[in-house]
Every structure is written in structure tokens, then in C-alpha cells.
Amino acid sequence: MVSVVIPMYNERENARDTLTAVADALRTAGFDYELIPVSDGSTDGTADELSAIATEDPQVRPVVYATNRGRGYALKRGFEQARGEYVASLDADLSYTPDHVVLLVQTLKDDPEVDVAVGSPYMPGGGVEGVSASRLAISKAGNVVLRYSLPEPIHTSTGILRAYRAPVLQSLDLESEGKEIHLEILSKSMALGYRIVEVPSTLRSRKKGTSSFKLKSTASSHILFSVLQRPTAIFGVVGVLLVTVGIITAGYLLGEYLTGSLNPERPLMTVMLLLFLVGVLLLGFAIVAQQLLELQKDVIRLQGDVRRLRAEVGAVEGAAGDDRDA
């Protein structure tokens, strides 16, 4: 079975067409499936529309709640309800056509060594159609930065188009409630040693409805993620640079002292000391931050092991209960 989780916020005019298109693509591919649209506090009647669709099609299993919590929260709620062997996620506006879901799931089915398949418009072979130049430039630039923040290079790390083996999601203790959940999933999957592959995909502009993209909040969360993932590269480099400039300045002042022309009250003395001290502090911070990052990875691995054990115990208990009922 394939479970497709589709977060929706005020997507009433897209809901029926989207679910119909995804169902048609999965049915044509011969997949047994369920669709899990998640109304993330919609106020335009999306929840009512999903309820109406679900009464017509039992393979549509909506998740509805009253308060808008963000894409990450919506995905987590959908993942919790997913019963499929493979779990995919997709935008409600079909900026990626449903055949992409089929392609990603088929990638997992064809190669048992692959745990996560990521749809990637920015990798070689991928493409973009109809997206404004300004938004495309921002998205590409952000993904370039994030590519060097993750332990493994991913061309498109911020997109929702993905497919997972169910045990992967079951082993992840996800915390994010916004769009940074895509980065959290990749980071924690890499920490647990899961194999991730990118699949060329085509991103298109939305046809109906309004985008929920917010540049300020998205950019700030991604910058914070980059800093937390690569503290040594950021703080360490700046620290080394400041210490180096401080040493060069100290060498210049020493030359001034040896020639007898040094004025102890020159501001450059204070600047030299500040450069050196701040640089050493940043280097120390980078070392401690890197150690904390390694500790966090160990915690993620332990959490993954615990969640996997709980899932196995639950499966055993469920099988035992079925035997008793029989």
C-alpha cells in the first residue's frame, strides 16, 4: 500500500481536483493506496470539502483540526495516520504532478537499498516551469547553501515531494512544525544511516489558490539550520580569521616596539587584543558546538532504536491479539 500525505491550508478549490488526479495516477500504476489530506486549520471550507469527498471515496482519509499549525505539524499528523508500506508527501496545488509520486515510490520498490526518494527540480535532469525568476533565485540560492550544511549533498533539500519507507518515518522523532521539517527529516535520516537518493523532477507554478510561502520565516529557519549543522565551518572559520588578523596586527605592533616608535595608547593595541580574544572565543564555541552536534546525532540514533523497538513490540502484541481473537 502507498499512503500519500497532502497538507492543505485553504485549498478548497484545489482539493477535489488534486485528490482525483493523485488517485488516478496511483490506480493507473496499479498501486493499492490511501490518500491522507490534512486540513491545517483551513478557514475557507477545505475541511467540509474533504469530508464530502471522504464520504464518496473510502480511500480518502482526511485529518482535520481547527488551528493553523504549519506544514511540519500537518505532515506529522498525516504520517501518524499512514498505514502504507510506502509513505509519500505532495503539495496540494500539484506544483509537482501526481506521476512524480508514482516515480518516487517505484524508485523505492525497485531498489531495496534506498530508504528515501527525494523529488529534485534542481539536480541535473530536473526542471522548473512558470515559477517567477525572483522566487526561483531565492529557492536555488537557499538550496545551494543548505547543500553544504547537510552531511550529504542534496540538490533540493527544502521540497515536499518525497517518498519514504514507512519504518524510516516511524524511527524519526520529528519536532518541527514549519517547513524546516524537510531539513529535519533529511538530517535525522542521514544520522541514522538511511540511504537517500534524488530523482529528477519538474516543479511548476500553482494554477489555483494562494501560496503560503513566507520568505522571512522560511529564510530565518533555514539560516538557523545551517548554523546549527555546521558550527565549525561558520564559527571556526571566522574565529581563525580573527585570530590570524590579531596575530598579524601583533606582529606589526612588535615591529613598532622594536623600532622605538610604539605608542602604548594607540587604539590599534585595543583592536589587536579584541580580535585575538574574540577569535579564540569563537574557536572555543565552534569546538563545543561540534561536540554537541555529535552528541545530538547519538541521541537521534538512540531515539531511532527506541522507536523501532516500540514498533516491533507493537506489531508482536498486535499479532498475538489477532491470534487470541481467532
Residues 173 and 298 both lie in one domain: no
Residues of the chain with pLDDT under 50: none
What is the per-residue pLDDT for 186?
92
User: What are 73-108's pLDDT values in tens digits?
Assistant: 999 999 999 999 999 999 999 999 999 999 999 999
Contact 249, 266 (CB under 8 A): no
Residues 224 and 235 both lie in one domain: no
The conformation of residue 209, written as its DSSP 8-state character, comes to S
Residues 180 and 105 both lie in one domain: yes
Beginning with the edge strand found earlier in the chain, give each strand of the sheet holding 196-200 in spatial order: 63-65, 33-40, 2-8, 86-89, 162-165, 116-120, 196-200
Q: How many other CB atoms are there within 10 angstroms of residue 210's CB atom?
A: 11
Residues 291 and 183 both lie in one domain: no
This prediction's pTM: 0.74
What is the per-residue pLDDT for 21?
96
Look up the domain containing 219 and give its range. Answer: 2-229
Domain count, the chain: 2
Beta-sheet strands, E only, within the chain: 2-8, 33-40, 63-65, 86-89, 116-120, 127-129, 162-165, 196-200, 202-204
- Last residue of a domain, which of 167, 200, 229? 229
Residues 128 and 240 both lie in one domain: no
Residues 209 and 264 both lie in one domain: no
Residues 73 and 214 both lie in one domain: yes
What is the per-residue pLDDT for 197?
97
Q: Longest Cα pair distance anywhere in the chain, in angstroms?
A: 98
Residues 113 and 251 both lie in one domain: no
Residues 130 and 261 both lie in one domain: no
What is the per-residue pLDDT for 216?
57
What is the per-residue pLDDT for 20?
96
- Last residue of a domain, which of 229, 260, 283? 229
User: Counting beta carbons within 10 angstroms of the beta carbon of residue 318, is it exposed (0 to 12), middle (13 to 18) or buried (19 or more)?
Assistant: exposed
What is the per-residue pLDDT for 133?
84
Residues 47 and 151 both lie in one domain: yes
Residues 202 and 179 both lie in one domain: yes
What is the per-residue pLDDT for 122?
93
What is the per-residue pLDDT for 281?
86
CATH number for the domain that contains residue 208: 3.90.550.10
- Last residue of a domain, which of 190, 210, 229? 229
Residues 264 and 136 both lie in one domain: no
What is the per-residue pLDDT for 219?
63
